[in-house]
Amino acid sequence: MLTLCLITGCTNAGPIKSFEGYFHTVEASNTLRIDCSSAVQENDPYDTDIGYMCKVEVTENTIIETEDGKKLNVNDLAELDVEKTNTPKGVKVDLAEEQDINTSSSSREGLKASKIVISN
């Protein structure tokens, strides 16, 4: 078991259903850039000092709200853009489907959110 752990790095790598990070910006009408470094690091614990961004798509079924339950939309998120506020907002993203998020840029694009909760 120890040998296996040394070879694989003792990670819990694999698909995840949600991740936490920081909201950065609205890139396109329904695409958000969100820091997902914590999700990447779960799958690659040796890559800890690099930040990673995920492109998260908002669909008509995506629920967007604050921690206290206030409903938001993509336009509201544009006002929270880190480039405007200079203060990153914490965010939890529940994915529509489990995804294997890792250092590969293709694994961090086209993610669809079922729910997005912005920290107060």
Mean pLDDT of 9-32: 84
Asked if residue 52 is part of any domain, the answer here is: yes
- What is the number of domains present in the chain? 1
Give the per-residue SS3 of the chain: CHHHHHHHCCCCCCCEEEEEEEEEEEEECCEEEEECHHHHHHHCCCCCCCCCEEEEEEEEEEEEEECCCCECCHHHHHHCCHHHHCCCEEEEEEEEEEECCCCCHHHHCCEEEEEEEECC
Domain extent, residue 53, equals 16-118
pLDDT tens-digit map of 37-96: 999 988 776 756 788 999 999 999 999 999 999 999 999 999 999 888 999 999 999 999
Asked if residue 11 is part of any domain, the answer here is: no
User: What is the CATH classification number for the domain harbouring 74?
Assistant: 2.40.50
Asked if residue 5 is part of any domain, the answer here is: no
Whole-structure pTM value: 0.84
The answer to whether residue 32 scores a pLDDT higher than 60 is yes
Asked if residue 27 is part of any domain, the answer here is: yes
Mean pLDDT of 87-106: 95
Asked if residue 32 is part of any domain, the answer here is: yes
Asked if residue 9 is part of any domain, the answer here is: no
Asked if residue 110 is part of any domain, the answer here is: yes
* Average pLDDT across the chain, whole number: 87
